[in-house]
Amino acid sequence: MARVCLVGADDVTLQYELLSRETSRNALAAYDLEEPFYNAIAVETVSLGAAVALLNDLDWYLARFVGSAFVREPSVSEAEWLSREMATAIRDGEVAPNDSGRFLEIYGLEPVESSSDDRAQQRLVEPMLVARTGQTVPEYDLRDVEETLTVRLTESEFGA
């Protein structure tokens, strides 16, 4: 099963924006929504193709309310996420899964308290672009954080 994660843009409340509009609400109605990070929603889909199709269905909303969209496909990596563009490239056969791990975006995960329910969550902070040269991921050094989230990018995303 592939997992889709949408992270809200800084100036929006993502869940409100997506669920207050009929088309996006209908596209998400078949899924159990989770909130893995502050101002983010995640859903489980049956495959990488279904994940990319969902992102395509939500494209108008992604452009307006989403800061980042990730897909995690266990057959590619158990721990690392794929950018939307990389997920599409793998689905379309343009990039082999084994060749997808060179260009990375690493986010720090920082604790934050949610004002709505007082539970501790993590927020994605300051992405760092790195190129993997071996089997290890370079260390995140933009902030002092205990955890990170790694996203595989296409070469064009990395060079942009």
pLDDT tens by residue, 4-57: 999 999 899 999 999 999 999 999 999 999 999 999 999 999 999 999 999 999
Biggest distance spanned by C-alpha atoms of the chain = 46
115 pLDDT exceeds 70? no
Question: Which residues contact residue 147 at a Cβ distance below 8 angstroms, ignoring those fewer than 6 apart?
Answer: 108, 109, 122
Tell me what pLDDT residue 120 has: 58
- Average pLDDT taken over every residue of the chain: 92
Average pLDDT rounded to a whole number, residues 78-84 = 96
Question: Which residues contact residue 127 at a Cβ distance below 8 angstroms, ignoring those fewer than 6 apart?
Answer: 105, 106, 107, 151
For the chain, the first-to-last Cα distance in angstroms comes to 30
Residues 63 and 75: their CA atoms lie apart, in Å, by 28
Angle subtended by helix axes 84-91 and 48-57, to nearest 10: 130
From the CA atom positions of the chain, what is the Rg in Å? 15
Query: Per-residue pLDDT tens for 52-79?
Result: 999 999 999 999 999 999 999 999 999 9
The proportion of the chain whose per-residue pLDDT surpasses 90, expressed as a percent, equals 86
Domains of the chain: 2-95 (3.30.70), 103-159 (no CATH)
